[in-house]
């Protein structure tokens, strides 16, 4: 069964074609700068036999319809013979609101509900909808499945997801904590429970997704009971360019004292804050390089970033009561031993001990990085959101 996974952003389209029976990724690609004067498509193909190929082409890509057609023409140029070989399409959809706690087969009702949720994700859901609409036009016979970033967090208890603002905002506008990166938290929590040889229903985990966007989840017996992102992906940890949790009165301060309009506050907090706002760099590799050269702003950014992860580990230890493992994932979580060790530094009394040798190993496999004595296991698990979406799609279609 061949599953095409689509992640449609406002100016990009990421895709991956996988045979779910053999687990083989057949091709993956990204179309970038859709709608700009010059765009680009890059596709990597992984044929049964070597060699893999990488093909990049620059050309103007007018809109998402053109991007999808381009993807189909690249896929049918050697990877598959015809679009009919695609058995189902799995779509990443960012915001499912309270309507979706599982992946769903997409029909008109589902499309309308995703539209209804646009006010909660004004940048993401419209792009996700375009991907769905185009897939329905280009592959009229093929089932589409929507997999939501928010669905894994729908198990949060109400005392965790409600905000202490007048309740009418929840009742009328569904203002509450939703959480994001759900597909990643779900994938790494399942992978970690298999790795430590425990049933997910009997495992309590803290998952730490540190990439461009950063979020954490407290997972009790397989169910998410707390997460750091909120109504939007701006909340929680410090991120590459996003501020994470700050005093909400900062908005009032900016408006009153600086006269900033909402649009500029939005850009300031989403695109110019986080690591970038403190040290003018948002890639952790560049920040380490700068620290090595004595850049104090880079050092401060590193300390702030890891301090917030540590503080959230502490909060989630309290919420969960007992924890089997802490799981680091995503670009920084998987690759950065300094961030992992700093975030866990001083937590020995809580039963968390990192082994420096294991922590410094470079491998793309899931692995332990804790010492033998550590009561709580600490793991690095590479995330794989595309695989999780492909599996969920196959399950829904085969149901």
Residues near ligand AMP (CB under 6 A) are 211-212, 240, 283-285, 330-332, 335-336
128 is in an annotated binding site: no
Between the alpha carbon of residue 64 and those of residues 32, 33, 113, 125, 212, the distances in Å are 10, 10, 21, 14, 24
The answer for residues whose C-beta is within 8 angstroms of residue 67's C-beta and 6 or more apart is 13, 31, 34, 39, 41, 61
Write down the least CB distance from residue 237 to ligand AMP, Å.
13
136 is in an annotated binding site: no
Write down the least CB distance from residue 342 to ligand AMP, Å.
13
7 is in an annotated binding site: yes
Write down the least CB distance from residue 104 to ligand AMP, Å.
26
Write down the least CB distance from residue 9 to ligand AMP, Å.
13
How is the beta sheet containing 367-368 ordered, strand by strand? 223-227, 214-220, 204-210, 325-329, 377-380, 367-368
Write down the least CB distance from residue 18 to ligand AMP, Å.
19
Which of residues 213 and 230 has its CB atom nearest to ligand AMP in the complex?
213
Dihedral angle at the C-alpha atoms of 134, 139, 140, 146, nearest 10 degrees?
Answer: -60
Which of residues 49 and 293 has its CB atom nearest to ligand AMP in the complex?
293
92 is in an annotated binding site: yes
CB count in 10 Å sphere of residue 226: 22
162 is in an annotated binding site: no
Q: How far is it, in rounded angstroms, from Cα 172 to Cα 123? A: 21
Q: Kindly report the backbone phi and psi dihedral angles of residue 261, in degrees, each rounded to the nearest multiple of 5, phi listed first.
A: -75, 160
Alpha helices in 162-283 (DSSP H): 168-173, 182-195, 249-253, 262-271, 274-279
Write down the least CB distance from residue 258 to ligand AMP, Å.
29
Structure tokens at 47: 């044929």
Which of residues 149 and 336 has its CB atom nearest to ligand AMP in the complex?
336
211 is in an annotated binding site: yes
Q: Which residue is nearest to ligand AMP (CB)?
A: 331
284 is in an annotated binding site: yes
Which of residues 117 and 383 has its CB atom nearest to ligand AMP in the complex?
383
Q: How far is it, in rounded angstroms, from Cα 92 to Cα 97? A: 14
Q: Kindly report the backbone phi and psi dihedral angles of residue 39, in degrees, each rounded to the nearest multiple of 5, phi listed first.
A: -115, -175
35 is in an annotated binding site: no
Judge contact between 18 and 387, C-beta under 8 A.
yes
The answer for residues whose C-beta is within 8 angstroms of residue 242's C-beta and 6 or more apart is 213, 233, 234, 269, 270, 271, 273, 274
Between the alpha carbon of residue 316 and those of residues 8, 262, 310, the distances in Å are 32, 33, 10
Write down the least CB distance from residue 67 to ligand AMP, Å.
21
| Residues assigned a catalytic role | 149
Query: Closest Cα to residue 179, out of 232, 125, 243, 122?
Result: 232
How is the beta sheet containing 39-45 ordered, strand by strand? 53-59, 39-45, 25-32, 13-19, 2-8, 88-93, 144-148, 104-105
Q: How far is it, in rounded angstroms, from Cα 80 to Cα 69? A: 15
Which of residues 176 and 186 has its CB atom nearest to ligand AMP in the complex?
186
User: Binding-site residues for substrate, please?
Assistant: 92
User: Binding-site residues, please?
Assistant: 7, 14, 92, 209-213, 283-285, 331-335, 385
User: Binding-site residues for Mg(2+), please?
Assistant: 7, 385
């Amino acid at each position: 069964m061949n599953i095409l996974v689509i992640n449609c952003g406002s100016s990009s389209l990421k895709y991956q074609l996988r045979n779910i029976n053999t687990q083989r990724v057949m091709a993956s690609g990204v179309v970038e700068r859709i709608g700009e004067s010059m765009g680009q498509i890059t596709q990597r193909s992984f044929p049964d036999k070597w060699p893999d190929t990488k093909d990049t082409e620059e050309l103007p890509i007018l809109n998402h319809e053109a991007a999808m057609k381009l993807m189909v023409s690249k896929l049918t140029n050697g990877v598959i013979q015809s679009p009919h070989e695609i058995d189902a399409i799995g779509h990443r959809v960012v915001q499912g609101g309270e309507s979706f706690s599982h992946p769903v087969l997409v029909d008109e009702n589902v499309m309308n509900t995703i539209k209804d949720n646009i006010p909660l994700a004004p940048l993401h859901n419209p792009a996700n909808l375009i991907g769905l609409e185009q897939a329905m036009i280009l592959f009229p016979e093929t089932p589409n499945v929507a997999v939501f970033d928010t669905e894994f967090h729908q198990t949060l208890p109400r005392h965790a997801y409600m905000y202490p603002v007048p309740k009418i905002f929840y009742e009328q506008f569904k203002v509450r904590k939703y959480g994001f990166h759900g597909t990643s938290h779900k994938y790494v929590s399942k992978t970690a429970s298999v790795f430590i040889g425990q049933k997910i229903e009997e495992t309590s985990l803290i998952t730490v997704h540190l990439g461009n966007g950063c979020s954490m989840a407290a997972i009790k017996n397989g169910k998410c009971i707390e997460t750091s992102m909120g109504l939007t992906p701006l909340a929680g940890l410090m991120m590459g360019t996003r501020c994470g949790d700050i005093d909400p009165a900062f908005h009032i301060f900016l408006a009153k004292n600086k006269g900033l309009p909402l649009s500029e506050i939005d850009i300031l907090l989403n695109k110019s804050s986080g690591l970038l706002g403190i040290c003018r760099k948002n890639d952790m590799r560049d920040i380490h390089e700068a620290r090595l050269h004595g850049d104090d702003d880079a050092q401060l950014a590193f300390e702030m970033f890891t301090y917030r992860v540590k503080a959230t580990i502490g909060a989630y230890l309290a919420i969960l009561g007992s924890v089997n493992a802490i799981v680091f994932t995503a670009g920084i979580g998987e690759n950065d031993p300094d961030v992992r060790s700093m975030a866990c530094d001083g937590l020995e009394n809580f039963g968390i001990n990192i082994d420096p040798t294991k922590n410094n190993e470079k491998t793309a496999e899931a692995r332990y990085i804790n010492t033998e004595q550590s009561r709580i296991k600490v793991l690095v698990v590479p995330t794989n959101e595309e695989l999780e979406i492909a599996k969920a799609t196959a399950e829904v279609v085969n149901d």
